[in-house]
Structure 1
Amino acid sequence: MSREYDPRENAKSLFSALLDARARYGAKKLILEDQDRNPLSYTDLIRAAFALGRKIAGFTKKGERVGVMLPASSAAVVTFFALHAFGRVPTMLNFTAGIRNLKGACELAGVTHVLTAQKFIEQGQLHDLIDALETVSKVVYLEDVRESVGLADKLFAATAAAMPGPFVAKTKPSDPGVILFTSGSFGVPKGVVLTQENLVANVNQIAAHIDLDPDWVMFNPLPTFHCFGLTGGVLLPILTGMKAFEYPSPLHIKIIPALLKDTKASILLATDTFVNQYARASAGDELSGLKFIVCGAEKVREETHNLIREKFGDVPVLEGYGATEAAPVIAVNKPNDNRRGTVGGLLPGMETRLESVEGIPGGGRLYVRGPNVMAGYLRPDGSIETLADGWHDTGDVVDVTKDHWITILGRVKRFAKVGGEMVSLTAAEDLALAVWPDSRHAVIAMPDTKKGERLVLVTDRRDAESGSLVAHAQSIGAPELAVPRKIIKVPEIPVLGTGKTDYVAIQRMAEAEGRRAA
């Protein structure tokens, strides 16, 4: 159940936190499972981490940033803790980011070894990625590493798991816990260095904010290269006694609903887009057993809230808010206090600061500070660019109530200046969503010789036309400047591997359409 937030509990290494969880919840408690349906206990996980870690330590150095390119799976979790057992830094690589971004990530972090699995590469047809990676790093397959594990390694692992003290690498809570890369939804991904304390703190903050039961099962189909998938889908359940069920892709829309029921899942982590699709694909009551659903990365639509309630009864959809730089959760709604339209209450231990944004009335640009906020960004020379006084600029314009509940008004980058007025692109998207709730929409700004900028709606709605948007805007009293007059219809709105809308790709689409029109 929920625990009091105690900041003193944050000051520990990740492997120490894992050992503490084993002591608290029981060495034999089954804590990790994936689609192979071979559940692991705490001791199984710790033993496997020591066995694999010992072999990885043979070709890497202490403190080395080691690339990990794996889907959400038991193998990814074991590899993560294996690196920590021997003082290496997991550097989670986004295999959906494209060759240029993937190579750039390895070069930025100084990754000379990338751990992956032959089976994953074959199933995902990712051979081109491997060819590209091999020009900057040595690719090591886990199947080959496991084959080299001999009797001496197994005896070492069994001894180390039973008496870990002398065998665990000595690291500090302030040492790097993971290197992740931002989504790149608005540009080139940045390398984010999260300390071990950042990650442990975020788990403790969430556990103090929401009642959690060690008997529950957390179903995670989100990738571990995404901070939401790593902290929410792996570290939170394992360090609080819940079983983590890892599934390799959120895109398996027809498989996941039945699996949720079969695994007796209590919590589902996903994005609005995927939750909506799972609900529609479900033929029966597959989602009814969930205690609640947690959504991040994008706004939860009213249509999704209503769809879940109509089909599955009282299963709250909790919208949350975070940033990779905050490990990632900053705020989240609660099952017993779920305020639609907000992203929930601020987590304990966090401070906020709002700075007014010229031309945008109400709210302000959000800065956050707390034990979960990153050490800093990676510089090209491998050093870390630290934050001024620990404050992170989220780039989001928000409103915060007196009881610290947050509503997102938009990103600073997601405003346009139309006819001298600041207009929220997010608000313009909401207009389209209200008119066509079953479709996906994205609004971007394009240069305009008369008005400075103009709004362009990119949508998968085939019959979308501006007249409907204008009529709806008038009916709710929205300014006409917030109505996109140019509409581009596409078969599908592009999204990133994290589920976020890919605004970089959408901007390119709109520019290409503009060139064709010219």
Structure 2
Amino acid sequence: MSNEKREVSAPHGGLSHVTGALWPPLKSVTIPQLLREAVVAHGDREALVFCDAGIRLTYREFDAVIDRHAAGLLELGVEKGDRVGIWSPNRFEWVVTQFASARIGAILVNINPAYRSSELEYALNKVGCRVLIAASSFKSSDYAGMIRALVPELGGIGEGRLHAARVPDLRHVVLMQDDPGPGMIPFARLQQMASPERLAELDAIDATLDPQDPINIQFTSGTTGMPKGATLSHYNIVNNARFVTDRIALTEEDRLVIPVPLYHCFGMVMGVLGAVSKGARMVFPGEGFDPVQVLDAIEAERATALYGVPTMFVAMLQEMDNRARDLGSLRTGIMAGALCPIEVMRRVNRDMHMEEVTICYGMTETSPVSFQSFTDDPTEKRCETVGRIHPHLEVKIADFDGNTVPVGEKGEIWTRGYSVMSGYWGDEAATRASVNDGWMKTGDLAVLDEDGFCTIVGRVKDMIIRGGENIYPREIEEFLIRHPQVSDVQVFGIPDEKFGEEVCAWAVARPGAELTAEALREHCRGQIAHFKVPRHIRIVEALPMTVTGKPQKFVMRDRMQEILRADPAP
């Protein structure tokens, strides 16, 4: 059980306003300092295991690998503050890059492994990536092929500095492959490039790093446009990682299985940095989620903790019905991304032995977690709510004028404290629209009860959550409207038993055009991430509008559900 004081988490004076405990104190350390503390305290303990790749390293061995790769990045000309993109599924190289870039103060840019060429180009240019480190492929994604199509200049430059027309800031491409071909550098060569002189520079650079420095950019978006780069500091994510793992009482004796994506805060902050903050062992079952791999890893590694979204737990429970596993070592973990049905929670408690599993709520812009249940909260509270406020944070539930509403009334979650991002990279207007006097306006609607438990009841921004993936309709709408036969389009979510929500689009054809649903799907293939491609598409003559000309998504949502009930085919 956490040593955190809970008595301060109740609302103040009948209003929906809560403040977190002031213990444990915040730490003013950088990511390299956090790792160094773990090496000093737990150097001979295993730090990580990549089951499919057969990689096992102690904290001391992992630290040595990181230094060599950091020195290799220096040899490429990477400097403090430069942006280094990482485009890969869950691989050993991802975690190495996370710490190696931080070691020299370079800002890690997380690129969704489901992104396609247009999204990659946008991300690289939005934040000015100097180096892109990528896997060669994953599932249907040919990363190397997409990079070569985006940067045709690669073919003739050998390993010199790149000057690409479409991504002008990019200087080097590093591929996780032994022989990546002309113009790309093999990831393994970074370690070989670590000269004694470069290694000697690392500690001097470390002395210049400040915990408040930006160190990570993660793409998010809203209803007003394309993805924005939420910029997070060492201070933001190190402390959030500590408090998240405090709530599940993680220690150096624990073995944490991380099947959630590293490009999300769930993987890289709550998972990796959380484990390092406690000296725990990280276990990565595979490059992507597979219930068989995860369950086999839990059994083989005698794991004590597990992370996942509810759909992952449902898939694992189904697999356990096919083949039983010995999961008696499990005790705790985190389920986030969507509310958990109570029957699923009961089966996770009983059949997976995770009696202390907790629920979280947060957003990328708050590093990410603001609310989390305690391990001994009642099962009903862990299903119906997202728990109580985290330490050193302040939350109010606000009306449209920013006034705090009474306990039990619905309003928007506003969060303030150490975890709030420094801003959206290169977008001061968007930052000002989201952060006011230190308050991050989340766009999520919630209710606080008299004990401080928070229940999420809706979303101001119409965000869709499909299987734990946050999907923003405006981004898809702006892509679909580029189809030459589309005159108008609206995207919204509808309930789905498997994924929680599915993406639906209603489109209006241009006069005289013969627009089809399949034509729109084809327009999306290879251009936007697969989970953003609308599962249901309807071509309509007109969209329902208010008298002021605003689209009525709730009308479309209700009508679409009626249509699917009559004919469930997409």
Q: Return the TM-score normalized by structure 1.
A: 0.76
> Structure 1 residue 409 and structure 2 residue 443: aligned?
no
User: What letter is aligned with 2:125?
Assistant: E
> Structure 1 residue 448 and structure 2 residue 544: aligned?
yes
Could you list the runs of 5+ residues in structure 1 that have no partner in the other structure?
416-428, 459-480, 492-508, 510-518
Alignment of 1:72-87 (within 5 A): 72-87=90-105
Spell out, residue by residue over 1:216-262, the C-alpha distance to the aligned partner (whole angstroms, 9 max, x if none).
11111122211111111110001211111124444323322122211
Report the Cα offset of residue 407 of structure 1: 0.5
Aligned to 1:462: none
User: What letter is aligned with 2:395?
Assistant: T
Spell out, residue by residue over 1:253-285, the C-alpha distance to the aligned partner (whole angstroms, 9 max, x if none).
332212221122211111111110111012113
Aligned to 2:43: 27
Report the Cα offset of residue 310 of structure 1: 5.5
Could you list the runs of 5+ residues in structure 2 that have no partner in the other structure?
5-21, 152-165, 179-185, 464-491, 507-542
Whole-angstrom CA distance in 2 between matches of 1:444 and 1:152: 50
Aligned to 1:93: 111
Aligned to 2:134: 116
Maintained 8 Å contact 2:258/2:284: yes
Report the Cα offset of residue 200 of structure 1: 1.3
Alignment of 1:343-492 (within 5 A): 343-357=386-400, 362-379=409-426, 387-414=435-462, 440-442=500-502, 447-448=543-544, 453=552, 455=554, 485-487=562-564
Partner of residue 293 from structure 1, selected from 333, 340, 364:
333
Alignment of 1:115-514 (within 5 A): 115-118=133-136, 120=137, 124-134=141-151, 135-136=166-167, 137=170, 138-142=172-176, 143=178, 144-147=186-189, 149-150=191-192, 153=195, 165-166=203-204, 168=206, 170-182=208-220, 188-282=226-320, 283-309=323-349, 311-313=351-353, 315-338=355-378, 339=381, 340-357=383-400, 362-379=409-426, 387-414=435-462, 440-442=500-502, 447-448=543-544, 453=552, 455=554, 485-487=562-564
Spell out, residue by residue over 1:73-130, the C-alpha distance to the aligned partner (whole angstroms, 9 max, x if none).
3221111111111221111111213322222111111113101234x46985334432
Whole-angstrom CA distance in 2 between matches of 1:68 and 1:186: 26
Whole-angstrom CA distance in 2 between matches of 1:125 and 1:253: 24
Report sequence identity in percent. Answer: 23
Maintained 8 Å contact 1:63/1:89: yes
| Secondary structure of 1:170 counterpart | coil
| Secondary structure of 2:410 counterpart | strand
Alignment of 1:54-65 (within 5 A): 54-59=71-76, 60-65=78-83
Maintained 8 Å contact 1:51/1:154: no
Aligned CA distance change for structure 1 residues 294 and 148 (closer, same or farther; 3 Å): closer
User: What letter is aligned with 1:57?
Assistant: L
Aligned CA distance change for structure 1 residues 365 and 173 (closer, same or farther; 3 Å): same
Aligned CA distance change for structure 1 residues 329 and 380 (closer, same or farther; 3 Å): closer
Maintained 8 Å contact 1:457/1:486: no
Maintained 8 Å contact 1:202/1:328: yes
Whole-angstrom CA distance in 1 between matches of 2:561 and 2:138: 42
Maintained 8 Å contact 1:80/1:90: yes
Maintained 8 Å contact 1:67/1:115: yes
Maintained 8 Å contact 1:442/1:457: no
User: What letter is aligned with 2:307?
Assistant: L
Question: 215-224 or 204-213: which moved more?
Answer: 204-213
Maintained 8 Å contact 2:447/2:454: yes
Whole-angstrom CA distance in 2 between matches of 1:155 and 1:279: 52
Maintained 8 Å contact 2:105/2:215: no
Whole-angstrom CA distance in 2 between matches of 1:12 and 1:457: 49
Maintained 8 Å contact 1:285/1:312: no
Aligned CA distance change for structure 1 residues 216 and 252 (closer, same or farther; 3 Å): same
User: What letter is aligned with 2:188?
Assistant: R
Report the Cα offset of residue 196 of structure 1: 0.7
Maintained 8 Å contact 2:89/2:262: yes
Spell out, residue by residue over 1:49-93, the C-alpha distance to the aligned partner (whole angstroms, 9 max, x if none).
110111111122321011111222322111111111122111111
Aligned to 1:424: none
Task: Please give the root-mean-square deviation of Cα atoms over the aligned residues, in Å.
Answer: 3.7
> Structure 1 residue 49 and structure 2 residue 66: aligned?
yes
Aligned CA distance change for structure 1 residues 330 and 186 (closer, same or farther; 3 Å): farther
Whole-angstrom CA distance in 1 between matches of 2:554 and 2:79: 51
| Secondary structure of 1:239 counterpart | helix
Q: Return the TM-score normalized by structure 2.
A: 0.69
Spell out, residue by residue over 1:467-516, the C-alpha distance to the aligned partner (whole angstroms, 9 max, x if none).
xxxxxxxxxxxxxx99954436667xxxxxxxxxxxxxxxxx8xxxxxxx
Report the Cα offset of residue 307 of structure 1: 3.6
User: What letter is aligned with 2:388?
Assistant: G
Aligned to 1:465: none
Aligned residues: 447
Maintained 8 Å contact 2:332/2:355: yes
Aligned to 1:467: none
User: What letter is aligned with 1:257?
Assistant: L
